[in-house]
Structure 1
Amino acid sequence: MKHVMFLVVGLLLASSLPTQAAQVRARTYVVGADVDASGHVTGTQVDADVPANIAGVLAGAVKQWAFVPATRDGKPVRAHTFIRAKLQVAPDASGHSTVRIYFMGNGPKFDETNVPPRYPLDAARAHQQAFVMLDATVQPDGSLTDMTVHSRSRRWPLPRAFTTSVLQAARQWHATPERVDGQAVATHMRIPMNFTLSDQPLSAAQADAMREALREEMSTAKAKGGHFGDLFQSDQPVALDSPLQPRALAANTH
């Protein structure tokens, strides 16, 4: 079976989430955030289809986080970004559930209607897999430009078919840009995509190469206050130059 992972959390909360290993349930949500000139979140926007109990927990957590203020002409100004927040529900020894909310990053918001790239048929027949990075700029009008594709690991060559597939899909994508002082701005993005075959395990050399690459990615994310879960699951897009950089992002526990 072919898979393409794309960018594309008590009991009441848990009932709304997908089940994962060891009964831990988690999901990443995108929350719009209004940030004032001091770097504090003053307002949030959660998608209408998110259950009200989860939306309230997300909004409360996001409002406790802070950013280095955006600037215009050297002066701090208000800004708007989209925060990716991972809500995780895990049972404890007493049988109760602990809810934790982690900051996963911020930047533009990609449309849910964006169609992921197709798994190249010839690559699937040849049992080829790929762990890919798309670098692109989200322009103020929401289009993507300046696109380049490369392997997530320097030690894992990238067949051309995967590059072609990613670029064909990404040319059709759209995003809602970040805003500074009311004006839409461009943001450079790095978007991971994994092309895997369920019946094709990684070789020892491939697994080692990916572990090395992902350790580097996770180290960079943690330095910026982000959080990653299991190895090989860091599939969140990263804003390379968001006008709002994280400052105080402790995980929230409920």
Structure 2
Amino acid sequence: MWQSSVCAQQARAAEFTVGAIVNAQGAVTKTEAEPSVAPGIAGVLDQAIRYWRFAPVQRNGKGVPVHTFITARLDVLPAAGGKLDLKVSYLRQGPKTSLFKARPSYPPEAMRTRLQGLVLLLGTLPAHGNAVVSLAKCAERDCNLLRHSVVDWFQHGTWTPETIDGQPVSAQARAFVTFRLIPVTAVTHKPLAQEAGITHEERALLHQYGFTDNDVRAGVNQLVLSSVLKPLMVRPVVMHLGPDDHS
């Protein structure tokens, strides 16, 4: 990420999801990055994540270990004197899923008929078996094409559940996806898919099912998964590198 002097002057950022064991006291005792993550970056993430603390999980009045997946953002920031600051920020924890990387497709027929709208989905990622959709709802009428796209996205996602004392547990999911079009352009002569803001009716629907204005401001497509853990101390961790450490 920072091998050349030119790159060292540029700020960069990336998100990483790391497997983690949280012990009965709520401390992170082990992390495991994906095989594609460079060892140096995996080491930085490991050092930072071990500073974070979570509320202990108990069963039958006794603290038990949890295996979860922690998603963190790594910012590489140029500093004075050719140095670098590495900032690791907590984003979330819970089951690992492909749903955060993929997104529902805009159905071609919906684009042709200029169908737009927001779809809200509630569902379950079980410890075993297939994903279950309990609700898929739109603020507008006649949105079956959009609703089916979101349901298909959710049901075809993959996930690895959290475990409590070695036993996998299910997770609840809340999601909303917006479908918007921009006007026909002189270059393409066809409508283009574009993410955009939401209407008052759509905002009211999201509030009805537990989404806040902060969720709405964070982006027009949001997925929230439940977790057996609650963060207690997850402040950003900053590390400083000198010029000789850029490798």
Distance 2:198 2:149 in 1: 25
Task: Return the alpha-carbon distance in structure 2 between the equivalents of residues 245 and 13 of structure 1.
Answer: 40
Partner of 2:33: 46
- Per-residue deviation, 1:55: 1.2
> Kindly, what percent of the aligned residue pairs are identical?
30
TM-score, normalized by length of structure 2? 0.73
The match for 1:176 is 160
- CA contact under 8 A between 2:178 and 2:196: conserved in structure 1? no
Q: Residues of 2 paired with 1:13 and 1:78: CA distance?
A: 42
Residue of structure 2 aligned with 1:237, choices 211, 214, 223 = 223
Query: What is the letter of the counterpart of residue 253 of structure 1?
Result: V
Deviations 1:160-192 (A, max 9, x none): 321111112322222111100110111112244
Q: Which amino acid aligns with 2:2?
A: L
Instruction: Please tell me whether the aligned partners of residues 130 and 196 of structure 1 are also in contact (alpha carbons under 8 angstroms).
Output: yes
Distance 1:102 1:172, change over 3 A: same
Residues 1:249 and 1:150: Cα distance change in structure 2 (over 3 Å): farther
Among residues 2, 21, 25, which one is paired with 1:11 in the alignment?
A: 2
Per-residue displacement from partner, 1:20-44 (whole Å, max 9, x unpaired)?
A: xxx5422221111101000000011
CA distance in 1, matches of 2:126, 2:5: 37
1:30 partner SS: strand
Query: How many angstroms apart in 1 are the aligned matches of 2:31 and 2:45?
Result: 9
C-alpha RMSD over aligned residues:
3.8
Among candidates 61, 78, 98, match of residue 85 of structure 2: 98
Output the CA distance in 1 between the equivalents of 2:195 and 2:220: 17
* Aligned partner of 2:43 among 40, 56, 65: 56
The answer to whether the aligner puts 1:149 opposite 2:136 as a matched pair is: yes
Is contact 1:142–1:177 with CA below 8 Å preserved after alignment?
A: no
Alpha-carbon distance in structure 2 between the residues aligned to 1:248 and 1:161: 43
Any gaps of 5 or more consecutive residues in structure 2?
A: 183-191, 240-247
Residue of structure 2 in register with 1:162 after alignment: 146
2:21 is matched with which residue? 34
Q: Distance in 2 between matches of 1:42 and 1:60?
A: 11
SS at structure 1 position matched to 2:37: coil
For residues 95 and 121 of structure 2, the distance between their equivalents in structure 1, rounded to whole angstroms, comes to 15
In structure 2, the CA distance between the partners of 1:65 and 1:170, relative to structure 1 (3 Å rule), is same
Kindly tell me: are residues 202 and 167 of structure 1, through their superposed partners in 2, closer, same or farther at Cα, counting changes over 3 Å?
closer
* Structure of greater Rg: 2
Question: Do 2:99 and 2:154's aligned partners in 1 also have CA atoms closer than 8 Å?
Answer: no
1:216 matches 2:246: no
Q: Which amino acid aligns with 2:228?
A: P
